[in-house]
Every structure is written in structure tokens, then in C-alpha cells.
Structure 1
Amino acid sequence: MIVGFDYGSSNCAMGVMAESSPKLIPLEQGKPYLPSTLYAQHNSLIVDFVAKNLKHSHHVDEFFNQRKGLLASIPAIRSDLDLTTNESGIYIGKEAIEEYIEFPEEGFYVKSPKSFFGATGLKPEQIAFFEDIATAMIMAIKKRAEAHLGYELLQTVIGRPVNFQAVGGEESNQQAVSILTKAAKRAGFNDVEFLFEPLAAGIDFETSLTEDKKVLVVDIGGGTSDCSFVQMGPSFRTKVERTSDFLSHSGKRIGGNDLDIALSFHKLMPLLGLGSQMKSGLPMPHPLYWQACKINDIHLQSEFYSDKNHRELTRLLRDVEQPELLNRLLKIQENKQSHQTVRQGELAKIALSENAEHYADLSFIEKDLTQLISNNDLGDAINESLKQMVTLAEDAITSAGTQPDIIYLTGGSAQSPLLKLALQQTLGDIPMLNGDNFGSVTSGLTKWADKLFKQ
């Protein structure tokens, strides 16, 4: 009945209480973490998937009235794609990644959709589209969890960042929460509550404390970085009302994805012409390469894949000193391979947390094309992003008006030695602990959901 749900920027996970402890539910290939990705053979199939899974929901009439124009086109689209009755044309998680890599130019692919929910300037139809993406993913994930558990899930606490967007403020937060609330209820949840992700991680950590501590939780997720300064320990953890224990929060839309993008821009884009020259002696325009890498910005990606940009890149081929480099960028544009490119930046970042060097494999662009990346390269590329993350920690401490006893690090990028060094250099020798970088938020959400809905 009750589930904690981390609809994350990098991964999705669900947990239930089992014998007084949170247990993460297998969602994909026996593992609890499902990559936050969706691939559709046609974007209209997302609406079709939602409509078919809404049959027993009181949201049916509202949804069908709002999407009737799109739904009318579905039979023709399914016929063109030769989809059988049992084929949805929708993939999530690793299956979505595999489909995208095999057919990058033929379908619609989105990674970290939550990163877009707070975007400013979205038109009503764009908000509706993100509602459908979130609904389809939550429906599919919920169905997998229920199949494993053998019972229906009706109440949930969903994790949310402190701020979904760097700009837009509370309006962006309300927009994103509205998208997630509507999606979760259309997916079949009767009761939906939210909890800051760093607080969820802190609640999970609190179980292990044998004495009261002032804890700064630093959560570096895929799309956002969040800090919560919390009083926790034996004197606090039995309380249901914890508002007075949460001393401060800070957050910004900058996370692991931004580190991947920065590394890809600085170290992979030179192989595609960044830093090279035009025949006139002028440098190649930087915005072209930023658009190619910025996979978490819907507007820049739309510009990069536009017909207008294709014509511009083709025109530039005549004017550059090294057209063979620009041809590689043109291939990425034509084949919609931005995500594959940035994925190599992500893999390099992960590898460099343990190794001094890593070769990024770009053979999908050109045979045997690789790039050597060192730890120093990584540090140079992500330095500005790390500064912003450290500033968030400083802001949380300043707002709390006291110093933490412990810094608790969680999130996929929190294991980076460069982040720990940057925090230590700025904040001093405060003890730092790493929790479960991927599971602590889900476990905390599960504990909170159980306490909230059973009180």
C-alpha cells in the first residue's frame, strides 16, 4: 500500500518497509535502480500508453478530453510503425538506452525528464507533454513494483530537490510539483506527498546515530545539488513533526549531469572542431558545441537538431580550416547522438573517480576515434560546477547560524574525490561520511512514508 519513491534525475527507485527496515524493490533485471530514461518509437505513443493504462481511473474523462486531438492520430501512427496490439512502442530504463543507441534518429529519447519540469517559459502543450512522460514512466515503474510485491501501491512520498530550477524560483518549483503530482495520481496513487531529497537521505542516516548531531546533508544528484542542515539523532528520530529540526536548506539545478556536460564540452568537443579556426582566422563558434552537449536544456537541444542548424553546419564546412572535424559534429546532429556523446563524458567521470586516466570511446562517430582524459582534465572541466556546489553548502551553514558536526554525502557524484577536496578546502576539517550514494534517498523516503501514512 505504502511506498517511498525516488523519481530521480539519474535513476528511479522504490522502497517498502519490511520488518521495520526499508527494502528496495527490484525494478529492472533484478536490480532496484532503473535509469531515468524513456524512448518512444514516436512521441505520440506516450499519450497512447497513458490512455490505455487509465482505463480504470477516475482521471479518464479529463485526460481524454485534453488529449483527444493527439489520440485521434494514434491508429495511423501505430499502423505506420507496424506495431501489434500488444506492442506499446515505449521503453524505459536500460531498454530505452539500448533502443536509442540502436535507433537514435528514428524515435524520441529523453534522459532525466525531471530536469525539465521546472523549466521557465514552457508552453501549456509542453507542460502537458512532460506530464505524459512522467505519467508513463511512473505507471510502468509502479506496475513492475506491484508485480513483484503482489499488492497495489496507493500511497507514496516522492523525493524532490530543494529547487528544481536555478531561475524561476518558487513558480518553477510549483510547476514541477504539479507535474509530478498529476502524473502520480494518473498512475494510480491516491495519496501523494513530497519530501526534500537531502532530508530523505538524512532521515536514513539518522537511524545509525547513537547520539544527537548537527548534520549537513550534501546530496549531489543527477540534475540538482541540494543541502539540508538537520538536527538528528536519538532525541529526534521518533518525532513525526520535524519542521523545527530542519535548520536550513539550499539547492540549485546543477548536478552530475552538468559535470558530464562540462567534461564532454571541454574534452570531447575539440575532436569535433571546438577551438579550431575558420579560414578567415576567426575561431569556430562556441554555441554550436554547447548546444550539442546541453542535453538537459530542451531549448538548446531543439536549436541544435533544427533544420536551420543543419543548414548552418553544412554551410560552415566550406569555411573551416579542418572540415573533417566539423563533419563529426554534423554526424552527431544528423543522427541525434548528443546523449551518446555526453554518456562518454559520464563514463569518463565515473572511471576517473578510481583511475588516473580514461579513454573515451567515440567510435560511434568515427571508427577508432578515442580521447584520453586525465584526472587533471576532469578537475579543470568541472571546477566551476564544483564551486557552485560548495557555495550551496556554505549557504546552508550560514542560514543555519551554526557549524555542522558531520557532513553526510550522498548522490551519484558525491563519491568524487574532487568534490570532497573542494568541500574540505572551503569548510575545513569537518568529518565527512559517505552513505549509500544511490539508495539513501529511497530508504529515507520509505521510512518517512511509513511514518506519515500510518500515524
Structure 2
Amino acid sequence: MIGFDYGTSNCAVGTMVDSKPELLSLAGHGQYIPSTLYAPSREVIVNWLYQQLSETEQVNFKSQRLRQLQKGQSMLRELALDGIDGDLAFGQAALSAYLDEPDEGYYIKSPKSFLGASGLMPQQIALFEDVVAAMMANVKQLAEQSLQREIEQAVIGRPINFQGLRGEESNRQAIEVLTNAAKRVGFKHVEFQFEPVAAGFEYESCLAKETKVLVVDIGGGTTDCSMLLMGPEYTKLTDRSAHLLGHSGVRVGGNDFDIQLALKGLMPSFGLDSLLKSGKPMPSNSFWQAMAINNINEQTEFYSSSNYRYLEQLQRDAQQPELIARLLNLHENKLSYRIVNGAEQGKIALTDNEQTQVELFDIDEQLMVELKRSLILTSAHRELQNITEVMHEAIEQAQCQPDVVFVTGGTAKSPVLSQFLKQQMPNSRLVVGDHFGSVTAGLTRWAQRLFS
């Protein structure tokens, strides 16, 4: 049995060792594998996945995906003629493959962000299910190699609300995709647990008395808050519903901080905030669309041929056409993920430094942008306000104040964010947990309770 954090930014797996959760080493990826996938063509994902399935599941899968498998087989023959391998890459290898040739292949980061999206066609849902299943199959195989045994039972983390405009309908859609994918790749028993609740379970293991804990889990795609009644007398219970005092979640996470930092910190070097020859400000919509890597519709619009013609006109009208030339280069070579990744690496560097340099020499040999730590706060002002609102919403539901605010998630590493959260809850003790491992460890503890 495992706890499986299928995260927006990273995936991790835990198992119990000597009554304590231990995160598994996933071969060369370490304990955390970035939630990314790269394929030489989108059409071949289904064929790679088919090869990973059991014989029984292959029969079922083929009956559902026959047309896609045939298209993928045709694409594999074309790739072979060009000397291109049809295999998939995951984690850092996927990012490296994308950065090597950003205008080739199919790269997807954080598919979890799209699972609750509104207006998806059945074929789009099927594609996301196959992408998720491929990623899960890879992680499952790595975990089984580490444990040297088959894994059949898993507790998978989930946010309070997935990204989607339809509330519970979006949540049902996302859970159905995750469940179908998990069972397809060989998990026979699958349960879900709210990610902030799981993180709370890990914190509960160190408590000596009953404590009201507000868990703030700032993930890659969502921020979730749970007000929990916790203590040593509750740790062996399998029904904790009476202790879950309040829940709230918002579609704001680390990816949004990266996007905003890219927009406010890097996009001015591509023409944002510059002027037209008329003296009017440069229209900003295309810059936002370029960075909106978690919005399928915005990215589709930005990379349309009609938008490229619009950008060419902007360049002709610009006081600094050389800046818009960089935006055109971004469009031509599909570099949105490259720019946001640069912002993310800058954000990470700003954890320990007041300022850092982001090198974008592959876009322009002269382009290096300085970012300051304070920009994290100012660029993500709206996102921080949203986080504040969900914290207070969980407290209002619980109708009590927390004794402790327990913060987890990779973005929580930023001292700017920690200071901000302290200001929001001045009368509660702030504890910053394992930035990546708390959710996985808590899911692992819950798996032991459910499946033992």
C-alpha cells in the first residue's frame, strides 16, 4: 500500500517503514518527480500506454481507443522514418527534451490543472486520462522497482476543489479521470484524501494534546485550507469526519506565482509596458495569453496564426520593435513553458537571495533579467488576497480560531510568503512543515489505516 501524491508540480510516493512514513526514491528522479511529460508526438502517448498495461486491460483499452491506437501507430512509422524514437520522457528528462526543441514534440506540465476544466470534449477528456495514466504507470513502475514488489492499493491526494468553473461537477470529472487512470495501470484499490487533511495527519503525529490546526497547503495549482481538530487520541481512527471543522480551496498555487512573476518580471523585456508609436500603452492581452500555461483556451488563442499576424502589426506600431521581435520569437518557437520555467527558477533562487538573474540567452544572446524578492509579493498581490480569503473562510466554517497555522507546499519556502501569512494570523503560531513531503507522508499514514 502506498500514499501517492499526484501533484500539480511533483509526484511522490510513500510507504510505511517501522511505523513511520518514508518517501520512496524513484530511481534517478529522487523522491520527487516533476509532473511533466514529453512525447515526440501527442498521437503516440496512447501507444506507449498500451504497452504498459496488463493483457486483460489491453483488451479493454483497445476496444475504447482503437482509432487513437491506429493513428498513433501511423505516427510511429513516420517518426521511425525520421530516425526519431517513439518513447516518452517524464520529469526532468521531459523538460530537458522540451527545452532542446521547444517547437517540436508534445510537452505537458501539470495536467492535474486541467482535469476539472469546463467545456472539455470527450476526446480531450480521453487524452487527459491517457496522459495521467502514462504518468501514473511510470511512477508506479519506479515505486515497484524501489520496493521490489507489486503495488495494488493507493491513497491518492486531491485538492478541495479542482480547477474548474462548475463546482462539484468539475470535481467529479477530475476524480473520474484520476480513478480510471489509476485502475487502468494496475491499482486495484484506490481511495482519495484531501491534501490539506493528509498534511494535517502528518503534523498530528507530533502533537501531545488536542489542538485546533489550520492547514494551509499551497500546491502547484491550488491552495487548500482545512481546519482540523487533532491530537494523539485521534490518530488510529478511520473516520475523522467529526474532526474536519472547515474546508476551503481556491484555484491559486505555485504555478500562478510563477506565471505572475514571469508576466511582471520577464515580459517587460518582450514589450509589456512599452509604448506604441502613437504614445498609447502597448496592449497587454497577448502577453498574458503567452504566460497562461494553465489555460488551454488562452494558449490556443495566443499560438493561433491570426494572433501571429496581430503581433507582427504590433511590432510595426511599436516604439521598441526589437522587444516585440522577442515575443514573435516566443510565438514561433512555442516558448511559453520556457519563460515560465525561467520565472520558477528565479523564484526558487529568491528563497535564499534578495535578487537573482534570469538568463534567457537562448531567446536573445543579450537577454538577462534581474528579479528582486519583493516582486514576488507585488506581482502576486491578487493571488495572495485569494489565499487570505480561503484561510478566513475555513475559520468561519469552523467557528473557532486556530491554535496553530501549519503551512506546507513548495511555494511556502519563500520567506516573503511566510511573512505574509504571519501577518494574516498574528494570534496563531505559524509552523512551516516539510515543503514537499507533508502531504505524501500523511497520505501514507492514511493508507495504512485504511488498508491494514
Give TM class, smaller chain.
over 0.9
Moved more, 176-185 or 282-291: 282-291
Cα distance, 1:85 vs. partner?
A: 12
* Structure 2 equivalent of residue 50 of structure 1: 49
Q: Is the 8 A contact 1:42 1:89 kept in 2?
A: no
Cα distance, 1:356 vs. partner?
A: 1.0
Query: Which letter maps to 2:124?
Result: Q
* Structure 1 equivalent of residue 152 of structure 2: 154
* Structure 2 equivalent of residue 39 of structure 1: 38
* Whole-Å separation in 2 of the counterparts to 1:192 and 1:301: 33
Query: Which letter maps to 1:37?
Result: T
* Structure 2 equivalent of residue 26 of structure 1: 25
* Structure 1 equivalent of residue 93 of structure 2: 95
Q: Which of 128, 137, 140 is equivalent to 2:138?
A: 140
Q: Deviations over 1:418-442 (max 9, x none)?
A: 2222222222231111111101100
SS at match of 1:235: helix
* Whole-Å separation in 1 of the counterparts to 2:302 and 2:320: 20
* Whole-Å separation in 2 of the counterparts to 1:84 and 1:29: 29
- Unpaired runs of at least 5, structure 2: none
Q: Which of 168, 171, 189 is equivalent to 1:170?
A: 168
Q: Which of 281, 293, 296 is equivalent to 1:295?
A: 293
- Unpaired runs of at least 5, structure 1: none
Q: Which of 420, 436, 453 is equivalent to 2:451?
A: 453
Moved more, 270-279 or 60-69: 60-69
SS at match of 1:57: helix
* Whole-Å separation in 1 of the counterparts to 2:153 and 2:81: 34
Moved more, 366-375 or 212-221: 366-375
* Structure 1 equivalent of residue 8 of structure 2: 9
Moved more, 254-263 or 365-374: 365-374
* Structure 2 equivalent of residue 345 of structure 1: 343
Moved more, 21-30 or 381-390: 21-30
* Whole-Å separation in 2 of the counterparts to 1:132 and 1:324: 41
Cα distance, 1:38 vs. partner?
A: 0.4
* Whole-Å separation in 2 of the counterparts to 1:28 and 1:313: 44
Q: Which of 190, 193, 196 is equivalent to 1:192?
A: 190
Q: Deviations over 1:265-304 (max 9, x none)?
A: 0111110001112223332221100011111111111111
Q: Is the 8 A contact 1:118 1:173 kept in 2?
A: yes
Moved more, 124-133 or 26-35: 26-35
* Structure 2 equivalent of residue 393 of structure 1: 391
Q: How does 1:126-275 map to 2 (within 5 A)?
A: 126-165=124-163, 167-275=165-273
SS at match of 1:104: coil
* Whole-Å separation in 1 of the counterparts to 2:83 and 2:163: 39
* Whole-Å separation in 1 of the counterparts to 2:343 and 2:84: 37
Cα distance, 1:30 vs. partner?
A: 5.7
Identity %: 46
* Whole-Å separation in 1 of the counterparts to 2:333 and 2:56: 39
TM-score of the pair, normalised by structure 2: 0.97
Aligned length: 452
Moved more, 15-24 or 420-429: 420-429
* Whole-Å separation in 1 of the counterparts to 2:262 and 2:27: 28
Q: Deviations over 1:8-58 (max 9, x none)?
A: 011000111112111111114161100000011000111111112224233
Q: Deviations over 1:362-383 (max 9, x none)?
A: 1121003111111222221112
Query: Which letter maps to 1:450?
Result: Q
Q: Is the 8 A contact 2:79 2:86 kept in 1?
A: no
Cα distance, 1:63 vs. partner?
A: 2.2
* Structure 2 equivalent of residue 78 of structure 1: 76
* Whole-Å separation in 2 of the counterparts to 1:355 and 1:95: 27
